[in-house]
A and B are shown apart, each in its own frame.
Chain A
Amino acid sequence: MIGKLRRYGVGVVGFVGLAVAHYFGLFVAPGEAMMGDVGRILYIHPQTAQASMICFLAAFVCAVGSLWTGKSGWDDAMASFAEVGVLLGVLLLAQGCLWAKPTWGVYWVWSPRLITSAVMVLSFAGVLILRRLVEDPARRATWSAVAAIISAADVPIVWFSVKWWRDQHQMQSDVAKDFAQTFAWVAHTSWFAVMLLTGWLVWLRYRLARVERAHLETAADLPARAAPLNLDGGGEG
C-alpha cells in the first residue's frame, strides 16, 4: 500500500489539481471575451503545448547524453520523454483541430505552430517505431538517439520556413496570442498540474523502461538457470 502511494501519490495530486482547475475553467469562469465558451480551451491547450515541447527538448538532451556516455539510463530517459512527448503532441494537435473548427470553421490552419508540432510528433513517432523494430539494445540506443537528434535539429528550420512562407502569404495571425485570460489563476493552476503530471508520467515510464531492461537482462541468463526438463515425472523443483 505504501509502495503504491509512493508510486502514484504525485500522479494523484496532479490529477486532482487538474480536475480542480478544469472544474473552475469549465463551469465557473465566464466565457472568454472574444471567443466565448470556445476560449475555455485556454485552460488546457497552451499547457499541453508547453509540456510537449519540454518533453521533446528533454528527449533531445537525453539523446545527446546517450550518445556521449553510452549509459542505458540516458537511453531509457530519452525513450520516456519521447513517448510522453508524442502522447502530448498528438493531444495538442487534436485539441487544436477541435478548437479551430468553431473558431475558423476549419479543422486545420497553415500556421507555423501547427505544422511544426505535426512534424515534431511525426518525427518522434518515427523514432519510437524504430525503437520497437530494433532488438539489439546497443544499436537501438545509438540509432534512436541519432534519429532524435536529427528530428530535434529539424524543428527550428521547419518553424522558420513555415513562418517565412506564411508571412509572404499574409495569413491570419495565431489567435492564441490575442486572448485576454480572464481567469488567470485557473490557467496557472492547470499549468502546474500539467507539468507535475508530465514529469510524473515520464518518471513512471522511465521506471517501466528500467524494469523492462532488468527483466531482459535476467531473461538472457535464463538458459543457464532453467531446470532441466524431466519427462519421466517427479522432476525437480
Chain B
Amino acid sequence: MIGFSGQVREVFRRELLVAWRGKARILGIGFFGIAVMLLFAVGGEAAGARLTKSSAAYFILAELLASTLLFALIFRIETEDEALEMLMMLPISPSALFYGKALAATVLLGGLACVLAPVGVVLFGVGLVEPAWMLIAVCGLIVFGLAAPGTLYSALTARAPAQEIVLPLLYFPLLLPALLAGSRALTLVLTGDVMTQVPSWCYLLACFDILYWVVCGLLFGRVVEGV
C-alpha cells in the first residue's frame, strides 16, 4: 500500500484528470469569473483612481465567487454514479483524499487567478509597482486559503439539499480574514508598499492558511463518513 504522500499525489492527479475531462465546466467557471469582474468594473466607479484602488478587492471577490461554483462541483460530481462510495472503499486515508482534492482546487483556482489577472489589468487599468514575485506570493496565499475550507464544505454540502445556498452561506463568513489581508496586500503590491506592510499581511494570510489546512484535514474524515 502506498504511503500518505503517494495517496495525496494519486488523488491530486485524479482530480486534475477529472477537471481536464470536464473542461467545459471549468471553462464555464473561468468565464463566470470574467463576467463578475466586468460587473464590478461597471457597477463600481466607471474609471479613475477609485476603481484602481478597489481593483484588488474586486479581483479577490471575483475569484471567491467563481470558487463557490468550483467547490459546488468538486464533490457533487462524485455523488454521480456512486463514485464517492467507491472511492471511500479504496484503502485511502480520508485526510489524503482531502489534501489531494484541496491541492487540485488550489491549482485550478491558481489557473483562474492567472486568467483574471490580465482581465483586471485591462478593465481596472492597474500596473505593478512591487516585484512580480510578490504578486505571485500574495495570490498564492489567497488561493491556498480559499481551497481548504471550500473543499471541506464541498464535501459537507454535496448531498445536502439547496447546496447552492448552504455552501456559500457557510463558506463566505470564514473568508473575511483572507479577503481583508489579501486585498490589503494586493493593493499595496499594485500601488506601492512604502511602509513595508506586505510581509505582515502575508504572515496573517499564512496563519489563516495553516490553521484551515490543518483543521479541515482533521475534520474531513468525519464529514465523508456521513456522505
Contacts and interface: CB of A to CB of B under 8 A. Distances in A.
Interface of A: 67, 115, 119, 122-123, 125-127, 129-130, 133-134, 136, 138-139, 142-143, 145-147, 149-151, 153-154, 157-158, 160-162, 164-165, 168
Nearest to B220: A146
A142 B166 contact: no
Contacts of B215: 149-150, 153
A81 B101 CA distance: 33
B204 to A, nearest CB: 6
A145 B221 CA distance: 13
B216 interface: yes
Contact of A154 (B160, B169, B177, B222): B177
Given A147-B170, A158-B177, A164-B201, 5 more contacts: A126-B166, A130-B169, A150-B174, A153-B215, A164-B200
B96 interface: no
B177 A133 contact: no
B176 A161 contact: yes
B93 interface: no
B194 to A, nearest CB: 12
Given A143-B156, A147-B156, A153 B226 contact: no
B217 to A, nearest CB: 12
Nearest to A149: B219
A139 B227 CA distance: 8
A165 B180 contact: yes
Given A146-B219, A150-B219, A129 B173 contact: no
B226 A123 contact: no
Contacts of A160: 177, 204
In terms of DSSP, what is the predominant structure of the interface of chain A?
helix
Nearest to A147: B170
Contacts of A136: 226
A133 B222 contact: no
A119 B208 CA distance: 15
A123 B152 CA distance: 15
B222 A67 contact: yes
A164 B170 contact: no
B211 interface: yes
A68 to B, nearest CB: 10
A150 B216 CA distance: 8
Contacts of A153: 211-212, 215
A129 B166 CA distance: 7
B200 A123 contact: no
Closest A-B pairs by Cβ, 10 of them: A161-B177, A139-B226, A122-B173, A126-B169, A126-B170, A123-B173, A157-B177, A146-B219, A119-B173, A142-B226
Contacts of A161: 176-177, 180-181, 204, 208
